[in-house]
A and B are shown apart, each in its own frame.
Chain A
Amino acid sequence: GENVEQHPSTLSVQEGDSAVIKCTYSDSASNYFPWYKQELGKGPQLIIDIRSNVGEKKDQRIAVTLNKTAKHFSLHITETQPEDSAVYFCAAPLGGGKLIFGQGTELSVKP
């Protein structure tokens, strides 16, 4: 069936290092790829998204890259800070606009 695979499930980095989270999707018709950050006990917060007409998008320390041919997209966080620690989810829409979420990546940034 249609799904979104996300890796790794946990990621631990030192403050100042970069973090990369990768997702693959199965529906070749998908054309919108958001990333959400979820802190403990809170709802997911949109941090960046990309549409299929571009291959990369950047917003300060956060960037997303998209490879439509390979059907994968990645989140890059540079100069990580302790407040970046959270669970990150990628997502892609199925037919009808339903967002299907990846399994999540628990990022821990150690001071």
Chain B
Amino acid sequence: GAVVSQHPSRVICKSGTSVKIECRSLDFQATTMFWYRQFPKKSLMLMATSNEGSKATYEQGVEKDKFLINHASLTLSTLTVTSAHPEDSSFYICSAREGGGPSDTQYFGPGTRLTVL
């Protein structure tokens, strides 16, 4: 089956620093990747959609300069949380979709737990 990995699985950083999270599709090429944020006992909140080789599309209320997304290849997307603050602490999850259509299956990574001190 399709596998999506994320690295790191867990990161603790100091306030003001930047953190990069990687998302990789291991056995398929992902035309589109998505980044979600999830608070405890809550649903997944879409942050942005990234297509390989083009700029990411951010959801309303998500600061693009705060959450930098790069989708440099068909198997890798990165999310960089810049100048992190404690309120950025959350569970970040990526997903990858092989096809370009809305009915193509999305596969999720295992998530990254970010804690900002």
Residues of A within 8 A of B (CB): 31-32, 34, 36, 41-46, 49, 51, 89, 93-104, 106
Q: Which chain A residue has the least Cβ–Cβ distance from B57?
A: A96
Residues from chain B with a CB closer than 8 A to the CB of A98 are 34, 46, 49, 102
Q: For A51, what are the chain B residues with a Cβ–Cβ distance below 8 Å?
A: 103
User: A81 to B5, alpha carbons, bound, how many Å?
Assistant: 28
Give residues 44-88 of B contacting A (CB, 8 Å).
44, 46, 49
B25 within 8 A of partner (CB):
no
Instruction: Give the complex CA separation of A37 and B109 in angstroms.
Output: 13
Inter-chain contacts of B106 with A (CB < 8 A): 34, 46, 99
Taking A43-B109, A44-B44 as known contacts, 7 extra A-B pairs with beta carbons closer than 8 A to each other, sorted by chain A number, are A32-B104, A36-B108, A41-B113, A43-B93, A51-B103, A97-B32, A98-B49
B111–A41 touching, CB < 8 Å: yes
Decide yes or no: A44 and B102 within 8 Å by CB, A89-B44, A98-B49 being known contacts. Answer: no
Query: Which residue of the partner chain, among A31, A42, A103, A106, contacts B110 with CB atoms under 8 Å?
Result: A42
| Cβ B44 vs Cβ A101 within 8 A | yes
Assess A102 versus B110: contact at CB under 8 Å? Given A32-B103, A97-B32: no
Contact yes or no, B108 A44, CB < 8 A: yes
Closest A residue to B101 by CB, please name it.
Answer: A97
Interface size, B (range)? 20 to 34
Bound Cα distance A32, B41 (Å): 25
Q: Is B97 an interface residue (CB 8 A)?
A: yes
Q: In the complex, A106 Cα to B97 Cα: how many Å?
A: 26
**CB closest chain-B residue, reference A97:** B102
* B43 CB contact (under 8 Å) in A45, A93, A104: A104
Q: Given A31-B103, A43-B93, A93-B102: A99 and B109 within 8 A (CB)?
A: no
Residues of A within 8 A of B6 (CB): 43
Residues in B with CB closer than 8 Å to A42 are 110-111
Min CB distance, B4 to chain A, in Å? 8
CB A83 to nearest CB in B, in angstroms, measures: 18
B18 within 8 A of A: no
